[in-house]
Structure 1
Amino acid sequence: MATGTDQVVGLGLVAISLIIFTYYTAWVILLPFIDSQHVIHKYFLPRAYAVIIPLVVGLLLLLFVGLFITYVMLKNQRVTKKAQ
């Protein structure tokens, strides 16, 4: 069972994810169909960042997953050497 704190953290993460998804969807899908002189464009970054930001985040995620796997493998290797 999840505690109250876990539920609040989970709800916060879902809310943040929903906000980011909505912003990105409006930025990438809806904004190109709105006139470039419209006032709404000042609330969004240039469209080049719509590709650059997810690419950088994905590369960082892969880096951290790779570092974690390397750390776990090296740690398991040390433990098995001590057991022998």
Structure 2
Amino acid sequence: MPESNRAVGFILASISVTVFTYYTFWVIILPFVDEDHFVHNYFLPQEYAILLPVYAGVSLICLLSVFIGYVMLKSKKKKA
């Protein structure tokens, strides 16, 4: 079991580092590269750099709110 946890942790850490590097390059470095450079083919337009994290954050807050509400309702039923 500990080996599988270590493998899952390594995979999650690798994905996190990859996404962080991609996003950092996209937001910080890419605006200083010429528009006709081939590197721009690997990235979405700049407006998505703001929209994607905002939508992800709103979705996360909504899901957490629904989960907390569900747990509160379930715990209230147990008391009654």
Assess same fold via TM > 0.5: yes
User: For residue 17 of structure 1, what is the aligned residue in structure 2?
Assistant: 16
- Partner Cα separation in structure 2 for residue 64 and residue 11 of structure 1: 26
- Correspondence list, 1:35-46, <5 A: 35-46=34-45
Q: Please give the secondary structure, in 1, of the residue aligned with 2:36.
A: coil
Deviation at 1:4, TM superposition (A): 0.9
> Which has the larger Rg?
1
User: For residue 78 of structure 1, what is the aligned residue in structure 2?
Assistant: 77
Runs of 4+ in structure 1 deviating by more than 6 angstroms, as ranges, are none
The percentage of aligned residue pairs carrying the same residue is: 44
**5+ unaligned residues in a row in structure 1: which ranges?**
none
- Partner Cα separation in structure 1 for residue 66 and residue 8 of structure 2: 26
CA RMSD of aligned residues (A): 0.9
**5+ unaligned residues in a row in structure 2: which ranges?**
none
TM-score by length of 1: 0.92
Amino acid at match of 1:9: V
